[in-house]
Amino acid sequence: MSERKNSQSGHQSLMASTSSFCFLAALLALVSWQAIASDPSPLQDFCVADMHSPVRVNGFACLNPMDVNVDHFFKAAMLDTPRNTQDSKAGSNVTLINVMQLPSLNTLGISIARIDYAPLGENPPHTHPRATEILTVLEGTLYVGFVTSNQNNMNKLFSKVLNKGDVFVFPEGLIHFQFNPNPHQPAVAIAALSSQNPGAITIANAVFGSKPPISDDVLAKAFQVEKGTIDWLQAQFWENNHY
Ligand SMILES: *[C@@H]1O[C@H](CO)[C@@H](O)[C@H](O)[C@H]1NC(C)=O
């Protein structure tokens, strides 16, 4: 009897320690999940992406470091070249150097882009699911902004007019845009992003240009308009201005 009691209380304390372990594990998982919402830190000096490896990991498998040479870290000048913006309905053209263009960016959590804006052109509202962006204006003027998440029950707009040499930050995941308000002059910006593969979700394209389309019942209610307005929007051509 007393043995049984002992084993019962042993069982109970095991249960208690198991549940506190579960709680701790859940807490740790939550903390580490938040910590890996951005690119994880490298565990070696470099891990140049082996694009031909059949191994599937988060990112890319590493080339043998003995086979790595200086050219893996180099991309011949291409960001000095103005991009064509005439064919773009939005009037912008983003040239991104991410891990696909420069495999040594693998595991390093960084990438760079040149953005060309036609007169009155814009980089339409979009978000980078995996990166904060820091942008500087090389030529011209940009009206830029981002909108917060629904914290404090509102989506607050932070916006600013930037001139040549000015710097602006777009926090990770938030919807942001850049617009060239000058009807006569183009604008150029360089942006650095805190991911080897920032990703870009252009809001209008994702919502109205998805394939297959989102039901117009869903979108009419979400945007508080008639279904015909949604059908018209869905019939437009939603080009990708990110390369
Ligand atoms: C962006 O620029 C490249 C190179 O000039 C061009 O091939 C591409 O068509 C342009 N995209 C748009 C949307 O204008």
Q: Which of 87, 92, 95 has most ligand 1 atoms within 8 Å of CB, for mutation?
A: 87
Q: Is 123 in the pocket of ligand 1 (CB under 6 A)?
A: no
Q: Tell me whether residue 69 is in a domain.
A: no
Q: How many domains does the chain have?
A: 2
Question: Are 112 and 19 members of one domain?
Answer: no
Q: Is 92 in the pocket of ligand 1 (CB under 6 A)?
A: no
- Residue of the CA atom closest to atom 13 of ligand 1: 88
DSSP element (H, E) containing 26: helix 2-35
Joined tokens for residue 145: 């902004």
Predicted local distance difference test score (pLDDT) of residue 137 = 98
- Residue of the CA atom closest to atom 8 of ligand 1: 84
What would the mean pLDDT of 129-134 be, rounded to a whole number?
97
Which phi and psi (to 5°) does residue 193 adopt? Answer: -130, 140
Q: Tell me whether residue 240 is in a domain.
A: no
Question: Are 32 and 82 members of one domain?
Answer: no
Question: Are 128 and 9 members of one domain?
Answer: no
Query: What CATH number did the domain enclosing 130 receive?
Result: 2.60.120.10
Joined tokens for residue 177: 């845009």
Which phi and psi (to 5°) does residue 218 adopt? Answer: -65, -50
Question: Are 128 and 227 members of one domain?
Answer: yes
> Crossing angle of helices 216-223/227-234, nearest 10°?
110
Distance from Cα 192 to the centre of ligand 1, integer Å:
20
Q: Tell me whether residue 127 is in a domain.
A: yes
Of 117, 132, 196, which is closest to residue 162 (Cα–Cα)? 117
What would the mean pLDDT of 100-115 be, rounded to a whole number?
97
Predicted local distance difference test score (pLDDT) of residue 37 = 65
Question: Are 224 and 139 members of one domain?
Answer: yes
Q: Is 205 in the pocket of ligand 1 (CB under 6 A)?
A: no
Predicted local distance difference test score (pLDDT) of residue 19 = 53
Question: Are 23 and 111 members of one domain?
Answer: no
- Residue of the CA atom closest to atom 6 of ligand 1: 84
* pLDDT tens for each residue of 162-213: 999 999 999 999 999 999 999 999 999 999 999 999 999 999 999 999 999 9
Of 49, 28, 36, which is closest to residue 172 (Cα–Cα)? 36
- How confident is the prediction for the chain on average, in pLDDT? 88
State pTM to two decimals.
0.83
Question: Are 25 and 145 members of one domain?
Answer: no
Q: Is 191 in contact with 112 (CB distance < 8 Å)?
A: yes
Ligand 1 atom nearest residue 87's Cα: 14
- Other C-beta atoms within 10 Å of 166: how many? 15
Predicted local distance difference test score (pLDDT) of residue 140 = 98
**Over pLDDT 70: what percentage of the chain?**
84
Range of lowest pLDDT (6-10, 84-88, 134-138, 224-228)? 6-10
Domain ranges, residue 15: 1-38
Question: Are 11 and 85 members of one domain?
Answer: no
Query: What is the spatial distance between Cα 99 and Cα 70, in angstroms, rounded to a whole number?
Result: 16
What would the mean pLDDT of 84-105 be, rounded to a whole number?
95
Predicted local distance difference test score (pLDDT) of residue 126 = 97
Tell whether the model's pLDDT for residue 2 goes beyond 80: no
Tell whether the model's pLDDT for residue 116 goes beyond 60: yes
